[in-house]
Amino acid sequence: MIDPKRIEKIYFTLAAAKGSGRSSFGHAYLRISESDEPSLDDKVIEFVAHGEIDSVGKYLRALGIGQALDRDISVAPYSTIIQEMNFRQLRALTNYELRLTPAQRATVVHQINKHLRAGKFGKYNFFTQNCASAVTDILKSAGISVGYGFTNLTPESIPKALEKRGMIVSRTEDLALDMRRSNLFEKYENDLRESLPEIDSIKAGLISKSQSERIYSFSYILSHIRERPLPSKVNSYLSAFKFLERRVIRSDLNRALKGERAIADLAFPVHRTSLTGLDETERWKIETSELEVKDNNGKLTLAAVFRVQLQSRHQHEKRIRVTFPLTDFHVNERGEVIWQGIRVGFKTEKKLHGSEFVFDGVSFLPEFLNDKSERLLVKMRMLVNNAPVRQTKITSMDSAEMIPLRNDDPERPSCYGFVNLQKALLQNTLFDPFLAPLSPAESLALVADALKGKSIIVPGFKDARSWLSSLDPKAVRNVIHEYSRDKYGSVVGAVSNYFNSSKVTSEALLRIGVLARSGIYTPIFQRVSGAEGHAVLVLDVIDEGKRARVVAYDPNLGYVRDLFFFDKATEKLQSTVYSEEKIFAPTLDVNQELFVGKLQGPDSSNLLLELSRISGRHSFSTSELSSVY
């Protein structure tokens, strides 16, 4: 209940009219404030018909034909009303502070509490017992008469009557998002024109109701104004612009403003696809999307497949496929996909999940619009991630510390083995290039020891790439596959792995990132029901607000910095290649790994190399290194 002693002000709040039907005359509320200034925590009292008017029968009852509907009363914070009206329904809110005595305020609150306890406010009728009449009935109990003699009272008529009687102290507005965008543009229009004479050509996009159009127009300003840093007024406009977008988009716009992300328009005009029965009241949601890039004689195309679930009277599903030409992309001699000089992906040696290209530097943003016909309009935008990442031991596909082989043998899938070997090469391996190399058989035995968790010293080579490249790739794969089969493929191994691993939460993932920057690398893996899981090695974790970017070694692809993103809300790992799944990590003995890592450090590595030279041995277990005798 509302405490009348704490109330400072009461407002009549009007939501702007929208469309036809019940919303065409606006919507009336009472707003109760415990502070001298308007607050988002103010309590808003709303009066509506009970339940959804979703049938002909209920609609007739709302019009006064048949048994009347109940009129509900509810209370919500003003922040909730702003979110619904300004952001979702794009309706402005106007607040009129009422000139009331303390006694009148107390009476209004008493009436509201009485009906809140009852849970309803009489009967509902669209014309005579609506939200507006409920407000005026409560005000009348405090001796304030709107004074209209006619019966069809509308929300829009109340402010005029109150103003005529001197009952309004002040008026404030919370504009709908589209109005805010228009006002913002008008404020900076001349400043924008000074730096960008063609600003009129994108004005419609900046204030468009289409998110895709707005993002692209924002990007247009960034890419066509060459002056850096941006003129202060332009920067002020773009900074304010981004705060009128949803939080998930806002972070991308902020990075674009910092020069860390670019936005490209991939296809225009939009693609249209027929959907039987689609009308302006149709609701839909996109279940899944699959993206595949193909190379047709040097011309790249992006094929997007969407599963659209339509929800009307009968729920049904439609699968649509849209193809966009990637005209500004090319593949260089190294197999890298380049867009405007930025590396955004690469070509795989063998197809992965049916695709020969992996995009690890871009995000594709499909947008679906209804043009009030039996068609669905599909737009596609692309966000290019050009943000710098922290330096890790592996920084590119050519890193000397990375395994030069890929897990691309369908007969011997061994992603877990590849990941554990890469971890061993980063944490437990030293190279002594001044000694003679071992025989191939001895080197393969050393690979097996590394997989078993031993610290190894490799003579005759300066890094992992040169060492493993000197060996028969088939033989190396055999060693990795045998380890994977014994450790993860057997019943005993699978049971042990299940009970010695746990689900990765948002907090745990950030801890994994801290460990990676300390030189301790954690494998993470997906458990997929009825299918092979997949494992990668975390090289770094970069917190980006609602999600975290996972820089990783992927045994199928190599070094990937922008392929994996962890959604903190769902706690699932997302990518454009693999399915979205929860992830798990094995339990690590951090103290032991820190001890082994210390032995690889500059202060201890020379001693370990000397130990290897004196003993003639090239692998040592942790227990051997931690005991004196």
pLDDT tens per residue across span 394-416: 777 788 899 999 998 888 889 99
Q: Which residue has the higher pLDDT, 488 or 471?
A: 471
Convert the pLDDT of each residue in 128-181 to its tens digit: 677 888 898 899 988 888 765 444 578 888 898 899 889 999 998 887 778 888
Nearest in space to 362 (alpha carbons), one of 577, 580, 218: 577
pLDDT attached to residue 281: 46
* Domain assignment present for 526: yes
Across the strands, what pairs with 318?
A: 308
Work out the percent of the chain whose per-residue pLDDT is above 70. Answer: 76
pLDDT for residue 20 is more than 50: no
C-alpha atoms less than 13 angstroms from C-alpha of 484 in its C-beta half-sphere: 22
Q: How many domains does the chain fold into? A: 4
On whether both 378 and 395 belong to a single domain, the answer is no
Tell me which residue of 103, 121, 158 sits closest to 45, measured CA to CA: 121
pLDDT at residue 368 greater than cutoff 70: no
CA distance 452 to 583: 23
Is residue 149 domain-shared with residue 279, that is, in the same domain? no
pLDDT at 268: 42
Whether 383 shows a pLDDT value over 80: the answer reads no
Which residue would you say has higher pLDDT here, 52 or 317? 317
In a domain, 264, yes or no: no
pLDDT for the residue 128: 66
Q: Is residue 265 part of a domain?
A: no
Length of the chain counted residue by residue: 629
Would you give the DSSP letter of residue 267? -
* Residue ranges with strand state E in 297-335: 299-311, 316-325, 329-331
Does residue 560 share a domain with residue 441? Answer: yes
**Percentage above 90 pLDDT, the chain:** 28
pLDDT exceeds 70 at position 59 = no
* Residue 156 shares a structural domain with residue 191: no
Residue 27's identity, in one-letter code, is H
How many Cα atoms within 13 Å fall on the side-chain side of residue 95? 22
CA neighbor of 110 nearest in space, from 30, 56, 182, 13: 30
Per-residue pLDDT, 426: 93
- 271-275, 384-388, 575-579: range with highest mean pLDDT: 575-579
363 and 380: one domain?
Answer: yes
For residue 289, which phi and psi values (nearest 5 degrees)? -140, 140
CB 587 within 8 A of CB 502: yes
- Cα separation, 473 vs 246, in Å, equals 49
Q: Which amino acid is at 581?
A: E
User: Is residue 292 situated within a structural domain?
Assistant: yes
Mean pLDDT, the chain, rounded, equals 80
Q: Are residues 12 and 103 in the same domain?
A: yes
pTM of the model: 0.56
Tell me: do 363 and 399 sit in the same domain.
no
The answer to whether position 43 is within a domain reads yes
Asked if residue 131 is part of any domain, the answer here is yes
With cut-offs at 50, 70 and 90, classify the pLDDT of residue 267. very low
The residue out of 358, 385, 412 marking a domain boundary is 385
d(CA 560, CA 539): 10
For residues 192 and 137, state if they share a domain: no
Q: Compute the CA torsion angle 492, 497, 499, 503 (nearest 10 deg).
A: -160
Answer yes or no: do 161 and 57 share one domain: yes
pLDDT band (50, 70, 90) for residue 498:
low
DSSP state of 244: T
CA max distance for the chain: 107
Instruction: State yes or no: pLDDT of 382 exceeds 70.
Output: yes
Is the bond preceding residue 437 a cis peptide, omega within 30 degrees? no
DSSP 45-112: EEEEESS---SHHHHHHHTTSSSPEEEEEEEEEHHHHHIIIIIIS---EEEEEE---HHHHHHHHHHH
Nearest to 157 by CA among 136, 174, 171: 136
Whether 421 and 509 share a structural domain: yes
Are 136 and 146 in contact, with CB atoms under 8 Å apart?
yes
Q: 462 by DSSP, 3-state: which?
A: coil
Residue 308 confidence (pLDDT) above 70: no
The residue among 147, 174, 201 that closes a domain is: 174
Task: Look at residue 223 in the predicted model and tell me its pLDDT.
Answer: 73
SS (H, E, C) 366-418: EEEEECCCCEEEEEEEEEEECCCCCCCCCCCCCCCCCCCCCCCCCCCCCHHHH
pLDDT at 536 over 90: yes
Residue where a domain stops, chosen among 216, 236, 259: 259
Helix-, strand-, coil-residue percentages of the chain, each rounded to 5: 35, 30, 35
Do 497 and 483 lie in one domain? The reply is: yes
Considering only CA atoms, which of 617, 619, 621, 563 is closest in space to residue 592? 621
Q: Would residue 33 count as lying in a domain?
A: yes
Q: Is residue 494 part of a domain?
A: yes
Domain with 292 in it? 271-385
Inter-residue contact 378 to 270 (CB < 8 Å): yes
Predicted confidence band of residue 544 (pLDDT cuts 50, 70, 90): confident
Burial of 402 (0-12, 13-18, 19+ CB in 10 A): buried
CA distance between the termini of the chain: 76
According to DSSP, residue 426 is labeled H
Whether 216 and 324 map to the same domain: the answer is no
Interatomic CA distance for residues 461 and 430, integer angstroms:
10
Radius of gyration of the chain (CA): 32
